[in-house]
Structure 1
Amino acid sequence: MGLTVENVGRPARSSPRGAATRSALLRAAAQVFRTVGFAKAGVNEVVTEAGASVGSLYHHFSGKADLFYALYEEFQQRQQDRTRRAAVEARDAGETDPTRLMNAAARAYLEGCIAERETAWLFFRGDSPPGFESALRARLREWTDRNVALFRRAAQPVDDALLMVVSGAMLVAVGEVVARDDLADARRLADGVIAVLARLEAPAVTGPGAAG
């Protein structure tokens, strides 16, 4: 089985020194990937940037692809935290409409990409390990699926067509937003995407399962 987002090595329990080394290697990898790209990056460049040894890198990671996936996992966890907070805050403010709650989460996701656009751009510029783009699409679909399932009433089925449209729109939108050099332009585009998503509604449920 190849390396994927799902089977990338999670940080094992380690000493504070080991955890610090792992963090330094990830910061260094991000810097090297931004500077020369994933394809041209070498393990030696990463360890030099981190002030670590090749042995320490292979103690924590299986190679540069593992570093890339670990960076994505950490970014995605921060994004998940952002979207969860946005949904909770919207609910606490009295919002109950599931579509608006989903859009609050989508806005938080896009704003997180803007706030970390140098990191986010690593994952959307097309210079990545083999198979990563498929994993990226799958993870964004999972994110959409979780949020729609969370925000809709338990008795109301999640509509597959809506999931497909939202996940596809978000995948394209994130790539375009993080590619914008101008921050104001990126925010305008994100606002426009959310405005479009706000007009989407799931098809009415018909047939035996529909409410009478």
Structure 2
Amino acid sequence: MRSRGWSRSSGTRDTLLRAARDVFLAKGYGDATVADIVDASGISVGSLYHHFGGKPGLFLALWEQFMRGQEERTSRAAKATAGTAERFLAGARAYLEGSWEQREVARLFLENDGPAEFTTLRRQRGWDWIGGNKRLLGLDDSRESQVLVVLLTTMMGEAGREVAACESERDAEVTIDEVIRLVRRMLPTSPDVARATP
């Protein structure tokens, strides 16, 4: 009995998320309404509010889903590669490829059109990525290392936007290759700037 209820609940959430994604992509967050999402999903207003608390909750759930996918993709790629710099580059490439593969959703989140709390949550996620990149690169706590990891992380975020905005797969491939080439040049090579991760 519980599993059927869980399955129904999960199915309702998935249906609402798919409908919200389609509506947000078609209209943008600001112009989309709860009524639009209810119409597209065939799910009641009450269920929408029960599962997500409203339109902002749906948008943030979609964003979390996208970011979780990006994090899993980069982590898998990094773990499958040897060497500190090569792990970072493999993760960076996977992140950019995800930005292309999920370009419609990525563009939605890059438009700065979202609920009020979105900017704060995105900023916090950025700091989380900076911390993860610092650990991945095995950087010390020096100011130089902090500047480097902030620049690399910011560069990757902007590169993701650039890739998502590409008009063709060929343009995306060229952009990804160029970003990886530039990032490779920025990565530390001397032991006094970075140490190998354990």
Fold match, TM over 0.5?
A: yes
The equivalent position to 2:179 in structure 1, one of 166, 190, 193, is 193
Q: Give the gaps of 5 or more residues in structure 2.
A: 194-198
How large is the Cα RMSD of the aligned pairs? 1.8
Corresponding residue of 1:24: 15
Q: Which amino acid aligns with 1:105?
A: G
Distance in 2 between the 1:173 and 1:134 partners? 21
Q: Secondary structure at the match of 1:205?
A: coil
Distance in 2 of aligned mates of 1:111 and 1:160: 26
Q: Is 1:205 aligned with 2:192?
A: yes
2:133 equivalent to 1:157: no
The worse-fitting range, judged by mean Cα deviation, of 196-205 and 15-24 is 196-205
Name which of structure 1's ranges 100-109 and 18-27 shifts more when overlaid on structure 2. Answer: 100-109
Q: TM-score, normalised by structure 1?
A: 0.81
Q: 1:112 & 1:137 partners in 2: Cα distance? A: 20
Which of 38, 44, 48 aligns to 1:53? It is: 44
The percent of aligned pairs where both chains have the same amino acid is: 38
Q: Which residue pairs with 1:66 in the alignment?
A: 57
Deviation at 1:144? 3.4
2:82 matches 1:99: no
Secondary structure class of the residue paired with 1:52: coil
Alignment map for 1:38-187 (pairs within 5 Å): 38-90=29-81, 95-96=82-83, 98-152=84-138, 157-158=140-141, 159-187=145-173
**Higher share of residues assigned helix:** 2
- Counterpart CA distance in 1 for 2:92 and 2:120 is 20
**TM-score where L is the length of structure 2:** 0.86
